[in-house]
Structure formats: C-alpha cells, structure tokens
Amino acid sequence: MPAAQNPMATLAEQASRLLDFNQKLDISLLDNVVSCLYTGEGQQQRVAQEILTTLKEHPEAWTRVDTILEFSSNQQTKYYALQILENVIKTRWKALPREQCEGIKKYIVGLIIKTSSHAENIEKEKVYLGKLNMILVQILKHEWPKNWPSFISDIVGASKTNESLCQNNMVILKLLSEEVFDFSIGQMTQNKAKHLKDSMCGEFSQIFQLCQFVMENSQNAPLVDATLQTLLRFLNWIPLGYVFETTLISTLIYKFLTVPMFRNVTLKCLTEIAGINVNQYDEQFVVLFTLTMSQLKQILPLNTNLTLAYAGGTGDEQNFIQNLSLFLCTYLKEHGQLIEKKSELHEMLLQAHHYLLLISEVEETEIFKICLEYWNHLASDLYRESPFSAPTSLILNNLNAEVPFRRQLYQTVLSKVRAIMVSRMAKPEEVLVVENEQGEVVREFMKDTDAINLYKNMRETLVYLTHLDYADTEKIMIEKLQNQVNGTEWSWKNLNTLCWAIGSISGAMHEEDEKRFLVTVIKDLLGLCEQKRGKDNKAIVASNIMYVVGQYPRFLRAHWRFLKTVVNKLFEFMHETHDGVQDMACDTFIKIVQKCRRQFVQMQVGEALPFIEEIINNINSIICDLQPQQVHTFYEAVGYMISAETDSVRAENLIERFMQLPNQVWDGVIHQATNSVDILKDQEIVKQLGNILKTNVRACKAIGHAFVIQLGRIYLDMLNIYKCLSENISSAVAANGEVVTKQPLIRGMLTVKNETLRLIESWVSRSSDPQMVCENFIPPLLEAVLFDYQTNVPAAREPEVLNCMATIVNKLENHITSEVPKIFDAVFECTLDMINKNFEEYPEHRTNFFLLLQAVTTHCFPAMLNIPPQQFKLVLDSIIWAFKHTMRNVADTGLNILYSLLQNVSNNEGTCQSFYQTYYTDILQHILSVVTDTSHTAGLTMHTSILAFMFTQVEAGAITVQLNPGYTENVQYIQEFCCNLLKTAFPHLTTNQVKVFVQGLISLNHDIPQFKEHLRDFLVQIKEFHGEDDSDLFLEEKETALRQAQDEKRKIQLTVPGILNPHEIAEEMHD
C-alpha cells in the first residue's frame, strides 16, 4: 500500500508551479491555496500564507491579475488579485511602460462599469467593488489631471446614463475627496496634494451639478443616500458659494431631514455646514437655524421623554439623537451669539437648549460627553465675559441691571444644567471604593482613564456654573443631601455622585460661604455614617466622607478642630477591614497632610502639645491593622509633617522618634547577623529588611535632605547587607543556574538590594550639599556596588544600579566628574555586552544604561573627553545603537544624547575638529539610515533637529578640517556623500529627486518646520518607483522654493554687519 502523501509537501510543490511565470497559471490551484489560507489550520495555513506573500511580491505578479479576475470563481482569490494590483499601482506605477498603464486603467474602468451597472450586483459584490473603486482612486492619484484631464467630465457624463452606475460613481468621488483632502499627509508630497486639491476645487461645479440633479430628481433611495454621503465628505472643503449661494441648505432641510431614511446623513451635512466659521453669511446661518428648528419640532415634539425614547429606540433612532446633539452643540458654539442678538428668536434659542438638556439626561456616556463640551463652553464663556461670582440668587432679581444680559437669558437653563451635573458626576481618581456590576461594594484596582477624563471635564464645568450662581449650586446640593439623610433618595449611586460633585467645587465659593456649606455637609455625612447599618453602607459613606474632606484643604487649614476630628476619623477608618477603606484612609491622610502639614507641628489653641507628638506617641496603635504598603504610605505622610518643622534640632528629634519602630527591628537583625551571617538566608528576615527599607524610602521622599540623620545611622550596615546578599545570590546562581533568581528567597534578596539603591537615590536627589554627599556617601557606595555589578552574572545585575548612578550624576553634576571614569569602567562594557546582541533582551538595563549615558553627556562632558579613544568609540557606537532601537523610549534617549553630544562638542574648541574628522560622516550616515527607515518615523522631530544642526555646522564653516582630502569644500563633499549614499540605498529614485532632497537639507536647515516637511516628502517618494517621469513630484517648483529660501537666508545675513565673510560679498557692495 503506497504511503499517504504529506499535504505540506504537496502544497509546497504546487507553490513552485504558481511561481513559475513561464507556464500558464493554474487558477484552481491558486483557489486551493487561498482556501487553505482562510479555512486551513496551523502549519498548512502558514505555508499557504508564505506562498501567497511570495507570489504577491513577485515583480511580474500583476500581469496575471486579469486572468485571475476573469476565471476564478472564488471571491477571496479575486480580492487577493486586486491587492497585487493595488500594490503595483502604489509603488511601481511610474516605472511601468505608458501603454501598460493605459491598459490597466481601461481594464479597471471596464470592470467597475460592468460590476456596478446593475443594482443587485452593487450589494452582492460589495467588498470586491469597494476594492476596485479604491484601486481606481490610487490610479487617479498618479494620472489625474495630467494624463487623464477629462476624468471629472467622464465620470459625471457616465453617471447620467444609469442610476446604479451613478451610485457607485458617487462612492468613487467620495473616496477621491477623502484621499486628497483627509488622508494626503504622509501619503503624497505637499506639492502634489496641493495640485490635486486645486484641480478638484477647479472642476467642482460639474460634480455639484450632478449632486444637485440627483437630490432634486431621483426617486432611487440608495442613489440619494450615496449622494448625501458623498456631499458630506465634500462639505469641509468646497468653495463656500456652493453652500450658501445655492438652494443646498433648504433642499437638505425641507426634502430630506424629515425622511427617516435620510435624516441621519442630512443632520451630519447640516452639522458640517454649522461648523463653518465665516462672517459674510450671517443671514444664511440664521436661516439654517430657524428652518432646522421648525422641522425638528415636528419630528421630535419638545415634550418628548428622550431618555425613554433613546432606551427603547432602534440603532437609527439612537444615532439620530447623537447626531442632533452634535448639530445643536456645533451650531450654538459657533453661531449662538447671532441668535442671541435677535430677541424675536430667543424662544427658539431656549427651545434648542431645552433639547440639549433632554439629551444630556440620556443614559449614554458618549452622547453626554458631546453635550458636556457645549455646557463647558457656555458656562466658561459667560464667566469670562464678566468674571465675577453672583452674590446670591435673591439679589440677582433686584439687580437685573447689573447682571449681564446673557447670564439672565440662560439663567433657568443653567440651573437645570447644575442639577444634571450633580446627579451625573463621574467618579474622581481618588475614590477607591466602588460598586461593581454585580452590585457589590469593592476596591477598585484598575484606573478607568476614560472616567477620570470625564470627571475632569465635569468638574471644570461645575466650577464655572458655581461661579455664575453659587447660591443655586448650594441649594441643589443641600436639597439632595437632605434627601439622602431622610432616605427619600438614598442609594449608593445618588450619594456617590452628590459627594463627588460637592468635592469637585472646592475653591469656587467665597471662604465664608464655603465654611457654612461644608459644616452642614460634614455633619450630615458623619450623621449618615452613624445612622447606616451594614458593612457595605458604612464603606460607601466612609469613602464619601474621606473624598469630600480631602478636597477642602483650605477649610481644614483654617479650622483646626475640624482638621483634628477628620484625621482622627481617618485613623478610625484605618482599622476598618472592608476592602478599599484602609487604602482610601491612608491616601486621604497623605493628601490632607501635604496641604496642611504646618498645622500638625504648630502648637494649636487649646492643645497641650503639637498634634505630631500625639501621632508619634501612638504610632503603634494607629498602624497595627494596616498592610505593609499602607504603613509605607502612612510613614510618608508623617514625613511631610516633619518636613514642615523649621527648628532643625526639633526636626532631628522627631525623625529619631518617628523611625524608632523600624529601627528597633533593623537593629535586631543587624545584631543577629553580626553573630551569624546565615541569618540573612532566612526568608522572613529578608522580607522584614525589604519592608523596613521601603518605609525608609517613603519617609526620605517626604523629609528630604534632613533625613541624613536617619540615613547616616543605617548607611554602612545597609551597604554591608547589600554586599552580603550579593554574595548569597551569586553563589546560588553559580550552583543552580540563572533560574534560581525566580525563587521567592532570592527575589526577596533582590528586593533588599533594589530598595537600598532606591533609598540612596531618593536621598541624593533631594540633598542640598553636593560636596558633603561626594565626600561622605559616594565612596562607600561605589565600593559596595560597582565591583559587585561588574563581576555578577548578567541575570543578577541590578538595573537599579544604572538608574542610581544616573540620578547621582544628574544631581551632583560636575562634582562627580572625577568619579565618572571609575563608574564607566565598572558598568559600561559589561552592560553593553548584555544589550548589544539584539533590541529586546534586558529592557530595564537597556533603558537605564542610556539614561546614565545621557546624564554623563549632559553634566560631566569633560569626563567624556578624558576617556581613551577606544572607549570613546564604544560610547559613540552605543549611542548609535540606542537610536536604532524600535523601543521608542530607548531610541528617543539615544537621539537626545547624540544631540546633546554634538552641541557640547561644537562648544569645545580643543576637541571639536578631530571629533568631526573622525566621526562626522559616520554619524551622518547612521542618522540618514534611521530617518529613511519607516519603522522610525516617530523620531522625525528629533531627526530633524539633529540633521539641521549637522548641516548648519558644515554650511556655516564651523568644521575647518577637511572631511575628505579630495575636496577643498566640505559643503560640496557632504552633498556628494549624501547623494551617493541615498542613490545606493534607493536605486529606484532618480538622480534629480536625490539632488533636490540633499539641496533642501542645506537650504532649509535654518527653518525647522520646513526642514521636517522636506524630510516627510522624501519619505513619501522612497515608497514609489518613478521611471523617467517624475513630474508629479513638482521638483522644479521645489527647486525654485529652495532657491528662494536660500536667497531669503542670505538677505537676512546681509542685514547684520560682519555675518558674511568679506570674500563672500560681491564687489560693488564694497563702497
């Protein structure tokens, strides 16, 4: 019995037949491979993918497209054929012989006409036809108007012969408009895009007449819909006369707005028109508003309950409400003041706002955001018009004369907006206790950035609304709070939104009013806390009390009794084990302390001691129920209090007592370790050490330089433990391999080493005496850390060492210069060896290594000049290696280091010429290689700065050494060098293209934005093969523009005496 054939092998054999262009294409075989790609699995699918990719990239592949489209019965194969064709058109069109271009063009047009001439085909072949349309648009970008001047009249003429053909032609025009006006940046050069835009505007009248003809005469719904969709794309660029000096607006409103099928696209068109910002068509804008509003009232009576209508509506009806909000917000924002000036339209204006109020209550966040943006605009606009806060609502009615007219006009609207803001307020970032989808009260772990942004916008809006009438805001909030207390509106959601709203207007009231308001609020909330039963209820109330008090530091600073009550309440919550409550208590505590730190160290009226004494005396009982990370937060908070103590002797005394608890444990461990160093292999002990160091890190962060008294106490012991643990880790790795670093005990040891470095880093970055730091703290640190780093196996090297060194260099600047060679010796080569094999391994070492290099380049540049040439070459290579990374942060750091290095070198007369001679062309070559690599486009801004700087150096004559002995002029040499380099890298570019590009690098180096656009244009050109015809790149225009830029530059130079070399000035000027 014969062995079964391996399907992979047969697939691969078949592939070779597909790729043999000498034999006839086997369509059924191709269909087979395509089916494998879509329905096969695993290996089979991968092989099919490889075959199709290889075929697609074959330079002759496009010659088979017509055969595939004609004979294949598989839609996916046809789509694949069109992808091949699209690829050729995008990249090789200019390189194809003219008759082949004409052939492809005719063929595609014929296929489109054939496919789109019957209405049933348009729906059935939708994806296929969509791809054909896109291909035609790609051809047009090359051919029109130069090689196909009659395209617009051709397409308009053809549209009049057949309605379904016309429907598809509308889609083509829409795609063309999008390609030219919306997506041209980065896809075509600026000049080409401008040329196409001008052509389209110039020939628009024919297109407009066609659209108008369809809208006025056609009964074919899909055609009318396609026409309106196309018109929508045109509205953001067509000449304004077509919009305002024709019957377009009234046709849209009277004929289509009330028809359910067309109302959404019509509203979108009207929104585009409403967004146009010009002055000469005020009358037409008023008409747009009045006509739309009168039609709206018929479609959607003013007494409609929109919340219910939206909840029960179809997708189309929901979209209509969203589009309506967009129209009203856009119109009122751009042209609301036109309507305000006409008293006879005020009623209609308020009706428009009434619609917006109804829409603002709809339960859909995206729609609410649209309305919110308008309410924010209106409230801030009214406030800025006369930035005073209204005293109280009662006085308003008596002093109407003094209250600005617009505030009076919108008074009732704004009151309703306030109520909506209060009842819908989003959750602030600080709130950690939330209700989940199952209705349980839990701690939130993931930050919801969308909700945070919504909160920020709502908060800002409510602050403006409060300024406009704070009595009204207060009335609404107090009423809602009463309803929480008496239970008529009690719910977690209602209490949350109310308290979040109360917290959000901190600072918007006068201090006296704020005090009166807050006393009521806090008393009611504390009452609720006592009144409510059940852990969940208590947790929600506690969370809200903490949020509200945390938001009003001004009030707490001014009222010690309240501040003390609040802090004691927080200490109470620190024993509440409900999920999230302790976290929030610690977070609120630190937030309040940062704003009121002085109050805790001052002697307050009626107290025997400053409150900090009380806290330090009872610290044990306050923190006994907290988790380690909460204890760290607590220590940081008390650290901020101590930082406010101005008497240094008292501060030292406070620090000693404050750190007593962790120090007792620390001393115990050190004592045991003195007797037996094996104690440092005990997992519990190692964990304790990690926590003590984390506590020190957080306290140091708050106290700053004064923490030196505590750091000095543990410093040498800490470094000894560092060395000891390093030896433990190294021997464990030596015995069991690198996998051992994943074990809990070893990870605990690594944590202790990391926290040691973080503590030193934290203190050095906040220290105020660089000399003292350099003399007393740096030598033992380098001795303990550097040798250990250098001799360790890569997996046990701490990336934090590099970060610590970078922080020290950034802080101590030139004071540390003498130590830089020692640091480099220890960390440079061994780290480079870890990261230069590829772009991925050891990401933290990678990032920190380049941060250290950046710090040294910026602050200790003389040290760079003193290292041996061999090592300097290594430094430069590593900078180049950095900016070649696709890891964005590393590449950016690399570019910043290079820019800083180049600037430092140019300012150092002693070394700059030898540097240029050795490295200039090398650096230039590497920079050009990343500039022209599309995976590095994110760095374009920095590439621009570096290249412009390098070309300026050459052009200005700052480089006096000859860069190439064969050339007397450096500028000429660099131009030729770049041209040759680019011509070799991109042989498909014409000599002319490369020449214009390089000329631009020199002419535009003083104008950074232009220089950047010039680079961007070149990146577009790289993607295309250009044969002989490069006219659509408008190189002549480009050359003229570059000449003008050069002349302008020279004119400016001539106005400053002495800028130009006397030998550069023409003779007749020597008078």
* Number of Cβ atoms within 10 Å of the Cβ of 92: 16
DSSP alpha helix (H) spans, 659-743: 660-675, 683-703, 708-736
* CA gap 498, 1029 in Å, rounded: 69
Q: Is residue 902 within 8 Å of 949, Cβ to Cβ?
A: yes
* CA gap 922, 637 in Å, rounded: 53
Residues counted in the chain? 1071
In 601-693, beta strands by DSSP E: none
H or E segment to which residue 433 belongs = strand 433-435
Return the ∠ at Cα 1021 (arms to 1017 and 1008), rounded to 5°: 20
* CA gap 233, 181 in Å, rounded: 9
In the prediction, which pLDDT does 60 show? 85
What global pTM score does this model have?
0.78
In the prediction, which pLDDT does 1032 show? 56
Residues facing 443 on adjacent strands: 433
Structure-block tokens of residue 797: 């090297």
* CA gap 128, 1021 in Å, rounded: 29
* CA gap 8, 14 in Å, rounded: 10
In the prediction, which pLDDT does 1069 show? 40
Residues facing 435 on adjacent strands: 441
Return the ∠ at Cα 1012 (arms to 1008 and 1014), rounded to 5°: 115
In 558-627, beta strands by DSSP E: none
Residues facing 441 on adjacent strands: 435
* pLDDT beneath 70, residues of the chain: 1-9, 11-12, 389-401, 432-446, 1025-1038, 1052-1071
* CA gap 118, 538 in Å, rounded: 69
Structure-block tokens of residue 36: 């494998």
Task: Give the residue from 375, 126, 312 showing the smallest Cα distance to 226.
Answer: 126
3-state helix, strand, coil in the chain (%, to 5): 80, 0, 20
Return the ∠ at Cα 1003 (arms to 1000 and 1005), rounded to 5°: 95
Q: Give the CB-side neighbour count of residue 766, counting CA atoms within 13 A.
A: 20
Helices (H) and strands (E) in the chain, counts: 54, 2
Task: Give the residue from 253, 234, 344, 235 showing the smallest Cα distance to 291.
Answer: 253
In the prediction, which pLDDT does 8 show? 58
Largest CA-CA distance found in the chain, in angstroms, rounded: 107
Structure-block tokens of residue 993: 């293209």
Does 145 sit behind a cis peptide bond, omega within 30 degrees of 0 on the bond before it? Answer: yes
3-state DSSP assignment of residue 469: coil
Does 868 sit behind a cis peptide bond, omega within 30 degrees of 0 on the bond before it? Answer: no
H or E segment to which residue 800 belongs = helix 799-812
Task: Concatenate the DSSP letters of all residues of 153-192 into one string.
Answer: HHHHHHHTT-HHHHHHHHHHHHHHHIIIIIS-TTTS-HHH
